[in-house]
């Protein structure tokens, strides 16, 4: 049984990961901003016999993320895994100049990840064990129009996670999960009409979020001397 922290677990991939890992017998600590949704997710997990704590969390706030991790260590004596999953994707063309949305993607997708690493790394180092899982994207491997800033944040997430893997003690495992198009609420953050329309067609091939949860579960289940560096999971229909 591992103590697994998951950011952005109020919907989509984070929610599916929490549900799957709890079903597999892990204790999950789920964080996000929408507390009502966290409570719903937790109620479902408990009804299925799983074990879960909830924590209101804004990953852009460094103190929030520290409290998320430190609180779990206080309650359970340790944290085994942190899944840095929280993300937003308000796609738009650069000439739309939606600068506030660019800033938000950088804050959540990059600074949020860094806050997760900063909060968990000292605990993992002290314990001589731990596992970082970053939910990046196929957007960490290629750029398409309207996705330049989003892809930039995911390239950054990929680079930060790869650097962490190279620097970390071998007792600490580091995994990047790069999903293709997956059913979730992610496209709900798009405000630009053109990008929204494009996404409607693009997202028709989406696979269930549990497919990504399965990849995360696989990485966690390997023995401590095996580090799954990256898994790319995309719909068979997405080329
Ligand atoms: P959702 O929109 O369903 O989930 C995003 C989660 O992030 C929500 O739980 C949301 O919770 C949380 N979140 C957003 N902002 C913050 C914040 N400031 N602090 C804390 N939590 C926050 O989308 P997905 O499940 O798809 O997204 C999860 C991850 O997967 C993201 O990193 C995304 O980039 C990545 N991804 C998704 C793909 C897809 O096709 N769905 C493809 C590739 C990657 P709340 O609003 O309650 O805070």
Which residue has 């993607």 as its token pair?
Answer: 105
The larger pLDDT score, comparing residue 187 to residue 179, is at: 179
**Residue owning the nearest CA to atom 31 of ligand 1:** 87
**Residue owning the nearest CA to atom 33 of ligand 1:** 87
Query: If pLDDT is split at 50, 70 and 90, which confidence band does 198 have?
Result: confident
Query: Could you tell me the distance, in angstroms and rounded to a whole number, from the CA of residue 8 to the centre of ligand 1?
Result: 5
Q: Among 150, 155, 202, 218, which one carries the catalytic annotation?
A: 150
pLDDT at 201 exceeding the cut of 90: no
Cα 143 to Cα 90, 147, 149, 152, 185: the distances in Å are 15, 6, 9, 8, 21
DSSP 122-157: HHHHHHT-EEEEEE--GGGS---TT-HHHHHHHHHH
- Domains parsed from the chain with CATH numbers: 3-233 (3.40.50.720)
Pocket of ligand 1 (CB under 6 A): 7-14, 32-34, 37, 57-60, 85-89, 108, 135, 137, 179, 181-182, 184-186, 209
Cα 70 to Cα 67, 115, 116: the distances in Å are 5, 13, 11
Helix (H, G, I), strand (E, B) or coil at 6: strand
Stretch (H or E) spanning 5: strand 3-7
Q: Is 155 a catalytic residue?
A: no
State the DSSP code for 109: I
> What are the φ/ψ torsions at residue 105 (nearest 5 degrees)?
-60, -40
Q: 6-30: per-residue pLDDT in tens?
A: 999 999 999 999 999 999 999 999 9
User: What token pair was written down for 81?
Assistant: 């895994």
Report if pTM > 0.85. Answer: yes
């Amino acid at each position: 049984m591992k103590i697994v922290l998951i950011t952005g677990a109020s919907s989509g991939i984070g929610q599916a990961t929490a549900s799957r890992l709890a079903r597999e017998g892990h204790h999950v600590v789920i964080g996000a901003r929408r507390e009502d949704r966290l409570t719903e997710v937790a109620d479902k997990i408990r009804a299925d016999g799983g074990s879960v704590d909830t924590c209101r969390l804004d990953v852009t706030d460094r103190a929030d993320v520290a409290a998320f991790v430190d609180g779990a260590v206080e309650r359970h004596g340790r944290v085994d895994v942190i899944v840095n999953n929280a993300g937003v994707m308000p796609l738009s063309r650069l000439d739309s100049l939606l600068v506030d949305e660019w800033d938000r993607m950088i804050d959540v997708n990059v600074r949020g990840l860094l806050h997760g690493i900063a909060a968990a790394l000292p605990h993992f180092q002290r314990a001589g064990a731990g596992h970082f899982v970053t939910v990046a994207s196929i957007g960490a491997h290629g750029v398409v129009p309207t996705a330049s800033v989003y892809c930039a944040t995911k390239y950054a997430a990929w680079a930060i996670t790869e650097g962490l893997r190279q620097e970390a003690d071998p007792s600490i495992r580091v995994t990047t999960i790069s999903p293709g198009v997956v059913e979730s609420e992610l496209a709900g953050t798009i405000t630009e009409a053109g990008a929204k329309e494009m996404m409607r067609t693009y997202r028709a091939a989406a696979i269930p979020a549990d497919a990504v949860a399965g990849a995360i579960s696989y990485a966690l289940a390997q023995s401590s001397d095996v580090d799954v560096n990256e898994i790319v999971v995309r719909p068979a229909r997405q080329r």
